[in-house]
Every structure is written in C-alpha cells, then in structure tokens.
Structure 1
Amino acid sequence: MKLKPTSLLIAGALMGAAVLPVQADPMVDLLKVLRDKGTISAEDYSLLANAAKAKEEKVAAEKEEMVSIVKETEKKSSLVTLDSKGLNFQSADKSFTANIGGRIHADYGFISDDYFDRNVANVNEVGNASKFRRARLGMEGTMFTNWLYGVEVNFGSNSSTEFTDVIIGYQGFENTTIKLGRHKMPSGLEELTSSNRISTMERSNPTNTFALGRYNGLTVATKGSNWTATGGTWLGDGVSAGENSDKDSDYGYAGRATFAPIQEKDSIVHLGLSYNHIKYEDTFSSDSLANNNGRLRARPNNNFFDERPVQVIYQGTESADTYGLEAATIQGPFSLQAEYFKRELNRKEFKDADVDGWYALATYTLTGETRGYRDGVMRTISPKNAVGKGGFGAWELVARYDELDVWDSSAAQEGLLVHSGSTNNNFNNLRGTKSEIWTIGVNWYVNDNIRFMANYVDADIKSDAANNAEGDIKAFLLRGQVAF
C-alpha cells in the first residue's frame, strides 16, 4: 500500500515529536505552516500539536526526576578526593572523615668550624653530610562528627621510627577543642608553627631549649575572633624507651594565651605569653644527683650535629618554671617575630639557677605574597603564581638572630657540670655555655606543597666556664621539602 504525502508528513511530525521533544515549539510552528498551506487539516494539526506538547511535558518531568535522583545519590554517596591536602575520605553523612598526608624533608649540609679543632683533639670534625630530617606519614580525621583522631609516624631524623602525634579529641563545644595523647603542649610561637611552615630550616636555640614540644597529655584550647587560650598537662613524652623503668616520668602543666589587636587581610599584630612548670622524674637511686634533670643543651641551629656544643647540667634540679613572651607583625610581604624565654631551675641541694634566651626573625617575600596567620600561630605563604600555572612560584628572604645563655654565675659555684658525665670522648668535658647565631636564608615556594630552602648559619659558641670551650661553626644547608 502506498502512503499519501499527507500521511508521510504526519508520520514525520510524530517522529519529530518523539525524538526531539525539547524542540516542541519549532515543531508546532512547522505544523502551523502545514495547516495554513492546507497540507494537513485543522483536525490533524490539533492532534499533532497536542501530542508534541504532551511529550515535552512528560520529558521535562522525567528530566526533573532524574536530576533529583542524581542529586540525592551524590548526597548519599561517600566522597574520595586527592588534592594538595592529601588523600581525603568522607562518609555519606559527613560524620566520618579521614585524611592521609605526610612530609619529606631531605637535608644536605656543608659544615666548617674551628670549635672541634680548638677544643677536641680526638673527635672527628663534622663535615659534609646528608639526611632525611623528617619523613612522616599519618592519618587524621573525625568520627561521629565531633570526635577527632590522629596518628603520625616519623621515619626520618634518626635510626629509630617513632610516633610524632597520636591523639583522640573532641570538638563538639563551640570554639573549643580537647585533645588527649601525644601532641604539642602550649608553649612558644615558633614551636607551635609547623616545621612545614617555619621560615628557617631549624628553629632557634632558645625555642629548642625552652619550649616544650610534644608530650603525652591533655590540652583544652578555646578561641575567639582575635584571641586564643590553651591549657595543658602531661605525664611523660609517650615515646621514650623504658620510660617507667626505675624512675617516675616527668610531668607538668602549661598555658598559653594570644591576642591579635590588629587582624586584617594583609596586616597582623600578634601578642602572646606562655608559662609551663616541669616536675622532673624521681630516680630510685641512692645518688640523688645521678640524672640529667637540670641539663640544658643545644645544637648550633644545625641538626647534623649529634653532640651539643652548648651544654650545662645543674645537678639536683627538681623542677623548672619557664616564662615566654611573644610578639609578631605581618605587614604585606614583610613579617617580624620575636620571643623571649626565661627558665628558673629549682634545685634541692644547691642554689636555684636562672637562664634565658631570645630570638628575632624577619622575612620578606620578593614576589609580594603575605604570610599566613590563624588562631595565634604563624603560617606559611601561598604562591600567587605557582610553577606550572604560568608563574615562577614565590621567593622569600629570611634573617634571624638568636641568643642562648645557659650559665648562671651565681649558681655555678656549686653542683654544676659543663659536661655530660660520660668519658666516651674528650668532647663531653668541653662544652660552651652560650651561643650567638645568625641564620640567613632564601626560600622558593614552587607551589603549596613543594618548597626548597637554603640557609647559611654562623654560630659563635662562647663559654663562661673555665674549660674555655669556644669557637665558630659555619654551615651552608639545603632542603628539598614536599608536604601534603
């Protein structure tokens, strides 16, 4: 049977209405033309136009339903992402999260000095070397929305593998976080700034000597729009081998408060103070002086040294009180920060001793970026034009001077050692009591995850003791860093 031209037009119109529903209006216009020319009847036009409109409405409803289903599926499905912050996992209801991240700090040192040459005949001079200063891998996140957890392991710096942070916490209170486990106690601006974000390869000698670092304990931190307050207490450090072997662990408490009277995008003024009390371990020994409780020692801002050129031991120390003052400012590409520490050593059989130290650090970003700041802690800079995205990254100049003095002349007449008591080599009997160190550096931020650092360190070791252990230690240090 042959189809009439009118039948072919009607069939084509029906197919168009079925296959191209989103074009219903043009189809209706076509039908109007056919009707007006008399190709199809008014009855056929009405039939086909209604069919096209009905099809359009049906498809629109189906699309809306499909979009709704897709959105609901996305909402209920778990989310896995990989970005600059590491590998991130999130449950469907967002109450469980996990972030896997880490850091690698590969260091290279070129060191010359006259300290060993002048003071120690039988100790090998430190020369050129390389090491992994830090190689960490960890995971952190939330459980049941408000519960925190975190574990990080360090594979670098020495031959042993140890925990850096292991915590369980709670953040269900407004602007307040509670943490239990091994983590940093509230002590010092430079100490609380991550090693991924400090502007020099090593923290200053006063920070390394007096700030608390990581201990196994409890902290409670609260904050407002421009202030923070943190308190903590601890029992031991959580990693020392044989920590409870024939002795009690060190314990203590600490507090830190900060205030930022100016806190704008490119302008920050920071003020802070801290205090901590350490009760040193009691050894179960007939010799009450057979420990290093009053030991104060420091490397020359150079982690390639196993020995510490600065070291004094105040025997009979039972506890110590440390006071810290902080000040910092960020003004566009320029930043300046300084800290002062004073420690009072409380001794059982001898006169108490007071020692102190301070540093000042200045940075300037040649490419114009502003250093970050959040919750009373300095952060790093983020390149405006990262390498690989049309730019050359960010470049930063750094200069720091720090001074550490662990000699109290009024207390030095009794119960004081300037060596460790060991007779392994002559170096133990020849230590300085004061360091004055300049650190000058340049940092290249390739992007938010990769940084290269170069530091020149000039350490002047002095001594007030009779051993005359003095000298200069100079080092050129390089680091390649990746953090995620």
Structure 2
Amino acid sequence: MFRLVSLLSLVAFASPAVAQSAFNIEPRGRLFVDVASYEEDFATLQASVEDSTLRAARMGLQGGWGDFSFVTELDFGGDRVSFKDFRLRWSGENVRVTFGNQKTPNSIEYITSSTVNTFMERAQPAQTFRYDRRIGVLVDHSGENYSVAVGVFGGAIGDSNSDFGISDSTVIAGRATFAPINETGRVLHLGVHARQYNRDAGEPESVRFRARPGASLADRYVDQRTTAESSTLIGVEALYINGPFHVLAELATEDAERAADATAWGLSGGWMLTGESRVYRASDGIMRGVSPAQALSNGGWGAWEIVGRIDQLDTDSAGRQTSYTAGLNWQVERNVRVMANVIMADVDGPARFGEGDFQGVQMRFQVTWP
C-alpha cells in the first residue's frame, strides 16, 4: 500500500510538464514488470521456481534552466525504495560538470540506460564489480567522436526502507572513448575505464565479486568475499554497429589489494529484423533507444530484434559462472517494449551451492516516459 500511495502521489505531483522561457520541468519514469520460470540444479540446491516482480517502478522529475539541468528520481521496484539519479549539471561548450548522486564512469553497458539495453539484465562485467550510483562530482569533455570523463565520489545511498544511510567508501573513476567510425547506422566505438575503490575497515562488507546469470530473480551462484578494503579495476569495451546489426564486447578485471582478483567478460549481438539501426551518442559513448520505423499505433508491426550473448565471471576461489542468453525484443512504440530471454548457465568450481547449472525463461513488459 505504501508503494502504491507513493507512486500515485509522485504521478500527481509530476503532471503535467511546466514550461517557461527560462525554466522547464517534466515527469520522467519507467515501469518494468518481469515474469520468470527457472530450474536450479546444483550439488546443494535443487529448485523449480515460477515468480514475478516489479523490476523497476521509477518516478521522478527532470528539467533545467539556461546551462543548468537536473534529475531527481526514486525507484519503488523490488520491494524496496531506492535513490537513483539526484543530480545537478552545468553544461558548457563540450564540457559538463555534474554534482550529486549519479553513476560512476565505468562500463558502456552499465552507463547505458536499462530502458534501451539489449537484454533484460546486464552482462556479468557490468554486474560483478559493485558499480553503483554514488554522491560525487563528475567532469566530462567530448567532441564529435570522443569522450573523456573523470569523477571523485563518496559513498552510495543505502536502499533500506527505513534507513537511507550513506556507505563509508570512496571511488575515483575515469573513462575514455573514441569512435573512429561515427556515421548514421555505422559506428565503431572503443573505450577504456578504470576505478580505484576504497571502503572503511569498519564496514561489514569489503570488496566482493558476484553476479547473477542474467536473471534478476535468480540467485548469485558465484559470490567471492574478501577481507580487502581497497581494489583497482580496469576495463575495456568495443561496440560495432552496421545497419540493423550490432555487436558489443566488454572485459574487466579487479585486483583486491593483491589478495584476490576476478575477471568478467561478455560478448553480445543483435539484429533488427525490421531494418532499424541502433543509435549511438558519442558525447557519452553509449547506445540510445530504438524508434520503430512503423509503430503499432501507426498501423505497423513495431521494431523486432533477435539477440544473443555469452558472458562469464571467473573468481580466484568462488568458482566460475558462464551464461548463454538468447532473446527477442519487440519495440512496440518508442516508449513501449516487450522482451523475452532464454538463459542457460554453467557453474564450475567451489561455488556457493557447488557445481551445477541454471536454465530459465523470462519476459518483461516495459513502459517509459517521457
């Protein structure tokens, strides 16, 4: 009931958009409803599960005046309330400075919005290494085919319903991208990112490596905890778009005070059956959403895409998880999408529940605004 009342209150507060000559404000948000069925077959865990979840129920406001813009957003999905973007940005000529709770500049798939990502869940390189929104300042500079971003951040805001405490940790992160080919419908993107992570010794959790096998309702079958209080990460990424076809590759590795390390990589691709092309924005080095050439509301069939992915997390002492995903995406309208993913995963080594495998099917019904 609390979540429903909060959602209705935010909708009432946020509508309709107000526009003035020097100031504008409008609602923003997304709603993801997921259903899943999966089988877990491990040495100490055997289960057959059918479940559903409100994966995201995000409500907020965005707007700006002059060279300044802002975003405020809360998420009521997943049986909890969590802070998302709460940031203020100044934009100059090819330079931006952003203050507040925001994503750190790591991983093209992490930075790219979940509303446009190719799969229902991000690959293991974007899950494993505790990427999160954090309170800090980010400075970025961009040109026609490149971007550079550097930021200094404090802790992440907690997601408890009763305690929105800020964790005692610090992050210095940076990312650089270059697109030697940057044309409409044809892109080659290359990128590198790095992070130095430090957490206070008094915190209950230190550096940790874990990921789900591409399904939010599944468990984390590989989960390595360490006693380290700091770590260094480096990652590389590449994206190629050629008309209706795209392929994305990422690899990242993190060294936890030379006591433990983990490596995660992913390779994915997609083909638009209806001929549309993925959109790229060089100023951020990310993919953007797809607008169907013939939306359902205009008498068309929307945009249809088939996708596939293989990704892996390999740890020192908690095992290795390899996932295989195939999917079908239906972009009904610019802001309405239906997704279906079929996932198989193999877990080897001394994992949480021993060696075994996972098989699952999941679907998502997605609406975004504006």
Relative to the length of structure 2, the TM-score reads: 0.90
Larger C-alpha radius of gyration, 1 or 2? 1
Of residues 376, 397, 405, the one that matches 2:306 is 397
Tell me which residue corresponds to 2:77: 156
Structure number with higher relative contact order (C-alpha < 8 Å, ≥ 6 residues apart): 2
Tell me which residue corresponds to 1:141: 63
> Residues of 2 paired with 1:243 and 1:368: CA distance?
45
> Residues of 1 paired with 2:353 and 2:136: CA distance?
41
> Residues of 2 paired with 1:194 and 1:126: CA distance?
31
Name the CA shift for 1:148/1:126 in 2 (closer, same or farther; >3 Å).
farther
> How much does 1:120 deviate?
3.6
Of residues 209, 213, 219, the one that matches 2:128 is 209
> Residues of 1 paired with 2:64 and 2:164: CA distance?
30
Tell me which residue corresponds to 1:310: 222
Of residues 333, 336, 346, the one that matches 1:447 is 333
Whether the 8 Å contact between 1:249 and 1:282 is mirrored in structure 2 is no
> Residues of 1 paired with 2:85 and 2:303: CA distance?
30
Of residues 380, 389, 407, the one that matches 2:289 is 380
> Residues of 1 paired with 2:53 and 2:229: CA distance?
36
1:478 aligns with 2:363: yes
Residues 172-220 of structure 1 show CA distances to partners (whole Å, capped at 9, x for unaligned) of: x212111111111100010011000001000012211126231111111
> How much does 1:390 deviate?
2.2
Tell me which residue corresponds to 1:174: 93
Tell me which residue corresponds to 1:194: 113
Tell me which residue corresponds to 1:97: 24
Counterparts of 1:223-372 in structure 2, within 5 Å, are: 223-240=142-159, 249-283=168-202, 291-305=204-218, 307-315=219-227, 317-346=228-257, 352-372=259-279
Aligned length: 351
One-letter amino acid of the counterpart of residue 365, structure 2? G
Secondary structure of the residue aligned to 1:191 is helix
One-letter amino acid of the counterpart of residue 358, structure 2? I
> How much does 1:89 deviate?
2.6
Cα RMSD between the aligned structures? Answer: 1.9
Secondary structure of the residue aligned to 2:298 is coil
> How much does 1:379 deviate?
1.6
Name the CA shift for 1:177/1:211 in 2 (closer, same or farther; >3 Å).
farther
Whether the 8 Å contact between 2:146 and 2:176 is mirrored in structure 1 is yes
> How much does 1:240 deviate?
5.0
Secondary structure of the residue aligned to 1:384 is coil
Secondary structure of the residue aligned to 2:128 is helix
One-letter amino acid of the counterpart of residue 168, structure 1? L
Q: What 5-or-longer segments of structure 2 have no aligned partner? A: 1-14
Secondary structure of the residue aligned to 2:120 is coil
Identity between Structure 1 and Structure 2 (%): 33
One-letter amino acid of the counterpart of residue 96, structure 1? F
One-letter amino acid of the counterpart of residue 239, structure 1? G
Relative to the length of structure 1, the TM-score reads: 0.70
> How much does 1:244 deviate?
6.5
One-letter amino acid of the counterpart of residue 73, structure 2? E
> How much does 1:278 deviate?
0.3
> How much does 1:222 deviate?
1.3
Whether the 8 Å contact between 1:187 and 1:213 is mirrored in structure 2 is no
> Residues of 2 paired with 1:203 and 1:451: CA distance?
17
Tell me which residue corresponds to 2:17: 88
Whether the 8 Å contact between 1:187 and 1:211 is mirrored in structure 2 is no
> How much does 1:380 deviate?
2.3
